[in-house]
Structure 1
Amino acid sequence: MMMNMWLVIFIMFLFGNMIFVSKHKHLLIVLLSLEFMVLSIFFFLMMYLMMLNYNMYMLMVFLVFSVWEGALGLSILVSMIRTYGNDYFQSYNLI
């Protein structure tokens, strides 16, 4: 049972990485794949800390930073859409 959970968490992280690498045209898809990877890391930390019978305080710190990362990504997405009108990476001139 415990080994199946570790396998599910590992597969979640791999799928998040595959989406992050393959779907890099839209910023929204990249942000969603990053949040999916953060969720799999959260599950990993939760399982690891439960296995060692440690305090779950570090999970709250991790959640605070992951929410901060998500809010920062969404603010960048909104500013890009207001400035350029879309979230395609190919339509931006970086020069």
Structure 2
Amino acid sequence: MSIWSGILFVIPLFMFVCGLFSFVGSRKHLLSTLLSLEFIMLSLFWLIGSVLSGVGVDSFFSLFFLTLAACEGALGLGLLVSIVQTHGSDNFGSFAVLKC
């Protein structure tokens, strides 16, 4: 195992941890939480691609994962548009639980 193959595994793990910290730390706006979720999905896609290419397996599973990540992103953006239309902003502080 060379140094470059080790870096291919360390960078996505670091990205994943940074995305988790961003997801936990961003509690004010829905858009920032959605962006951190997409960053986590991108890092996991990179990690899965690195692992599958290191093992020598076909990359069908990574394309399936990328498709699910794109569907998750589209669903999140649809929810964001719906929330902005009904409540006026994506600020979590302006939401009332009893009104929804």
Q: TM-score, normalised by structure 2?
A: 0.92
Q: Please tell me whether residue 51 in structure 1 is matched to residue 66 in structure 2.
A: no
- Give CA deviations for 1:49-95 in whole Å, capped at 9, x if unaligned: 00110011111111111000000000000000000110011111111
Q: Please tell me whether residue 17 in structure 1 is matched to residue 10 in structure 2.
A: no
5+ residue gaps, structure 1: none
- Distance in 1, matches of 2:53 and 2:70, equals 22
Q: Please tell me whether residue 78 in structure 1 is matched to residue 81 in structure 2.
A: yes
State the aligned residue count. 95
Classify the secondary structure of the residue corresponding to 2:22: helix
Match of 1:68 in 2: 71
- Distance in 2, matches of 1:93 and 1:36, equals 28
Q: Counterpart amino acid of 1:83?
A: T
Displaced runs of 4+ in structure 1, greater than 6 A? none
Q: CA deviation at 1:5?
A: 1.9
C-alpha RMSD of the superposition:
0.7
Match of 2:35 in 1: 32
- Distance in 1, matches of 2:87 and 2:11, equals 39
- Distance in 1, matches of 2:54 and 2:16, equals 20
Q: Counterpart amino acid of 2:26?
A: K
Work out the percentage of aligned pairs sharing the same amino acid. 37
5+ residue gaps, structure 2: none
Q: Counterpart amino acid of 2:40?
A: M
